[in-house]
Structure 1
Amino acid sequence: MKKIFLDSRPMDKRAREDFYLTEELMMENAAAALENAVTPYVFHESARYIDRPHVLILCGAGNNGADGYALARRLICHEFTVTCCVVDEPKSEVCKLQKKRAELAGVFFTDFYSLDDFIDAKSFDITVVVDCIFGAGFRQPLPPNAEAVLLSVSKIDCRKISCDIPTGLDALGNGTTVFKADETVTMGSLKLALYSDRAKDCTGKITLANLGISKTNFEHESKFIADAMLLEESEMVLPWRNKNNVNKGSFGHAVIAAGEKTGAANIAATAALNFGAGLATLAGVDASNSMSIMSSKELPSNTSALLLGSGFGRSNKDAKKYFSYLKQNMDIPFVLDADIFYYDEIKNFLEENCSDEKNIRCILTPHPKEFSVLLEKCGLGTFTVSEVVAQRYELAKKFAETYKGSILILKGAVTSITQWSSKENLSCVYLNPQGTNALAKAGSGDVLAGLCLALLAQGYNSINAAITASLAHTLASKKYDGSFALTPEKLIEEIGALK
């Protein structure tokens, strides 16, 4: 896992004070990292007919702009032309100094008023645009001049690189008009702004650059607590079977409470069976319509884990029966999904069964609309879907703090997994950006719920089940060759091929 921070400026300050790295030295290291990202694309094969390649750097008034001017001075040493667009005149002393140095080195300048004319004249020659307008300290709204510049450069077909954070994204990764980068070179540490749903369309490849000291020294764990953790493929622990003297009962009985939409329940059950569960049963129906999935009108006596909500319906008369079963069987882990969040009983159920941080047996897997409903049902506030997406980090932490005995998987372009940590006395957030747009398909969520259920049935604890299920779900989507035809069945096949 990698650490993610909401604000890296305290770490910058410590690097200056404890390691005697001057602001200019750190800036020079940032410019060097940007230079390494820019130069491979200046003389790229796609630009082989250009006699004099051109790099355009968009410079703001603060330290991000200063990075841009320092980059321009370094790039002018190469055999191509460099122009800085002065989006706003320098305000910080270091930005003024770096701009003066760039002028003396022979860098060309234009202003945002003349940018459109410049682009019309040079668009064929521009091979790279570098965004150095705003960085980690940006707060909405975006000034009109910066917005105009972003709209102008969006028309240029070339490599686009952002310094630290794409301009237009605030600290939580929200923004309307945003620079769309092919690569973001972020300085010192990973920022939370880079891992929002909005950011996923804007950051491109994320490259972490050091500013003159190691990542370990910069992020000093005894001084700085990460605001989130970035999940990597190595955190996925697949349910490989390493014993031979076993039977189907050795791997748990995954049970899905079925209802009005048995198709969704069947998808979840199929996912559970294909992810290692020894048995999978639809409860509450006469037949499963699948040779592999069993059915039962009542809950099997050997139930290992229960999924409640997938295709269940929003007025199922058996809801109270299942709630009561989970209350009475405190050793049975369970997954809550989809329709179950619409029941008025959900608040009391969560208070009675998901408040004990010493017995975490519940995983919830809502998408933003369902989470909006859940928050309101639980008395945690009324939010639109767009507000949930924009505030997902804070709202997920608030939910975990309220229901300390639960694990929340909030689905999205970047999926978040949140749990309460009694050791740290705060909500821990794990971010999974691995998913693709192919998952935006009916049934994908049922697959995820089934994966969580399978791992719970096999004895995984709740947080490990949530992390492995989420990673398997998203990494399988990356392995699928396509973007619009990924069905739940194909997704389950890809999950089965994971190694």
Structure 2
Amino acid sequence: MTKLLSCSEIQELDSKTIENNEMTSLDLMSVAVLAVEKWILNNYKKNEKFSIICGNGNNGADGILLSCKLMLRNYKIKTYYINEVGSPEFNHQFNYAKKIKLNLEKIEFDNLKLIEFSGVIIDCIFGIGLNKEIKGKYLKLINFVNSLKNKIISIDTPSGISADTYFSSNHIIPDMVLTFHAPKLTFFFSEYLDKIKNVEILDIGLDNSEYKRMEGVGELIDINMIAKIYRPRKKITHKGDCGHALLFTGCEGKYGASILCGKSLFRSGAGLLTFLCDEKTKEIIYKSLPEAMTSDIITRGNFSISSEIKKYKVIGIGPGLGTSKKVIENFKKIISEVHYPIVVDADGLNILSRDKSLFEKLPRESVLTPHIGEFKRFAGNFENSNEKIMLQRRISKKYGLNIVLKGPYTTMTDSKGEMYINTSGNSGLATAGSGDVLTGIITGLLAQNYTPFNAMISGVFLHGLSADIAVKKSHVNSLIASDITENLSSAFKALEKLITPN
């Protein structure tokens, strides 16, 4: 389990670790700096030069102490500081540095170009507690550092990026971030994805029992978590045991969405599939997906949808569906009668966006899978990742829904508004039909009696993992939606290796 903590929780975890281990803040700082020192020893030879830039808070104190340790290891060190007075920890380390005659140089903001930052730059200007946008002379410094060709290593977080809040694009752009204990929520924000490319987690012995107790601001979904949820198929199994799903998808010009969705539903392990469709769609289904069945009940006058939907464990609605008057009418009938969670994507979401009162009629624990444009249509606009997360949490909690907001590091919220971030997948998923495949996977898992939450996080992770496996065989530019489906079996095998490694 990797829980993401708020800034205040990180500070509390530090305090609890200090208290429970009867140590001081300086002791914990020494442990943290030792972890950074070890990383540098493993990655750089003794003749390497380092320019360490220190603020006057605790991040700067880390930098001063690191400078001292590397100097004593015979690395070539230049240490730059902003002020001689700062936090108590900074003051202590600064005085120690002067005693051992560390090469300290004060930064003159009016003459930055005269400073010779040699070798690797280590960024210790600001830490996770930053609570405002960087401006003025500090912005001038950061822009100057970013303009250099030197490699940059940021300690704990790039200066200008807090642990949990987006402020602006004014920050250090590092080649590597050495962060303590766990990643920070902001590392997964879309605003920073192209800026934070390499992160290594350093263990500094923070109290794990206290860490587990904390509420956190999100949790990472990884293969170990999904392996615990995954249920291998029993040797004696009937197709009916694997669930019967209904898909209400596809219209003229978009029949491919139905096929992609149906194929991935079967590949996820569902036993039976019926399409709710008209005569024309039936012909296409039989030619492209002979394993599926069809129902044309919606083409009959005065039909009873309630008797039809009782046959199934789950309904997937939306891919390629269109938003005709008849489709909207049938959509409303389904959500008014169904008493189990459904999966809504694409045009199903567009129908909800046009009439937001329909959200109240959705069965609780249903799964919605919007991309960013669809999300904005029903949730409203937002300025940054913090506002996006707030909206997603609010809607999930208000209507008791599971929401998958697709994108790099897909965010998921459960019906209580708790947030989860997916760690599988790649940019090849930005391709036509990728979302239809995801809808099929989640619907298929629901048919197999996974809980809606487990179906959501497992479906999203498997979808991304299949894409990761696919690009190993080809290239991210060449990925198409069908490749995701074709590699689902390899994704399941990867899960089973964790369960039965031999």
TM-score range, shorter chain: 0.7 to 0.9
- Tell me the CA shift for residue 83 of structure 1: 1.7
1:55 is matched with 50
1:347 is matched with 356
1:257 is matched with 249
Measure, in 2, the Cα distance between the counterparts of 1:418 and 1:21.
38
> Structure 2 matches for 1:185-264, cutoff 5 A?
185-216=178-209, 218-219=210-211, 221=213, 224-236=214-226, 237-238=229-230, 240-247=232-239, 250-260=242-252, 261-264=254-257
1:96 is matched with 91
Question: Identity of counterpart residues, as a percentage?
Answer: 24
1:170 is matched with 162
**Are 2:394 and 1:401 equivalent residues in the alignment?**
no
Q: Is 1:85–1:115's contact at 8 Å kept on the other side of the alignment?
A: no
2:303 is matched with none
Count, aligned residues? 464
> Could you tell me which amino acid in structure 2 is paired with residue 490 of structure 1?
D
| Unmatched segments (≥5 aa) in structure 2 | 299-307, 494-502
1:433 is matched with 423
> Could you tell me which amino acid in structure 2 is paired with residue 73 of structure 1?
C
- Alpha-carbon spacing, 1:340–1:254, altered in 2? closer, same or farther (3 Å): closer
Measure, in 1, the Cα distance between the counterparts of 2:488 and 2:171.
34
Q: Is 1:136–1:171's contact at 8 Å kept on the other side of the alignment?
A: yes
Question: Please, what TM-score do these two structures have when normalized by structure 1?
Answer: 0.84
> Could you tell me which amino acid in structure 2 is paired with residue 132 of structure 1?
C
2:335 is matched with 326
2:373 is matched with 369
**Are 2:129 and 1:131 equivalent residues in the alignment?**
no
Measure, in 2, the Cα distance between the counterparts of 1:98 and 1:334.
58
Measure, in 1, the Cα distance between the counterparts of 2:165 and 2:406.
16
- String of CA shifts for 1:138-183, please: whole Å, max 9, x gaps: 1231133333333333355565332222222234353313333344
> Structure 2 matches for 1:284-363, cutoff 5 A?
284-285=277-278, 286=280, 287-288=284-285, 290-292=288-290, 293-298=292-297, 302-315=311-324, 317-331=326-340, 333-343=341-351, 346-354=355-363, 356=364, 360=365, 362-363=366-367
Q: Is 2:250–2:256's contact at 8 Å kept on the other side of the alignment?
A: no
- String of CA shifts for 1:203-228, please: whole Å, max 9, x gaps: 44444444454322x4261xx32222
- Alpha-carbon spacing, 1:16–1:183, altered in 2? closer, same or farther (3 Å): same
- Tell me the CA shift for residue 402 of structure 1: 0.5
- String of CA shifts for 1:106-139, please: whole Å, max 9, x gaps: 23436264554445x73xxx1x332212212112
2:496 is matched with none
| Unmatched segments (≥5 aa) in structure 1 | 44-50, 376-381, 422-426
- Alpha-carbon spacing, 1:213–1:318, altered in 2? closer, same or farther (3 Å): closer
1:47 is matched with none
Measure, in 2, the Cα distance between the counterparts of 1:71 and 1:431.
33
> Could you tell me which amino acid in structure 2 is paired with residue 59 of structure 1?
C
Which structure has greater helix proportion? 2
2:17 is matched with 15
- Tell me the CA shift for residue 91 of structure 1: 2.4
- Alpha-carbon spacing, 1:67–1:374, altered in 2? closer, same or farther (3 Å): same
Q: Is 1:388–1:395's contact at 8 Å kept on the other side of the alignment?
A: no
Measure, in 1, the Cα distance between the counterparts of 2:251 and 2:85.
63
> Structure 2 matches for 1:24-173, cutoff 5 A?
24-43=26-45, 52-87=47-82, 90-105=85-100, 106-109=102-105, 111=107, 113=109, 114-119=111-116, 122=118, 126=119, 128-156=120-148, 159-173=151-165
> Could you tell me which amino acid in structure 1 is paired with residue 74 of structure 2?
E
**Are 2:481 and 1:488 equivalent residues in the alignment?**
yes
1:269 is matched with 262
Give the superposed CA RMSD. 2.7
> Could you tell me which amino acid in structure 1 is paired with residue 398 of structure 2?
T
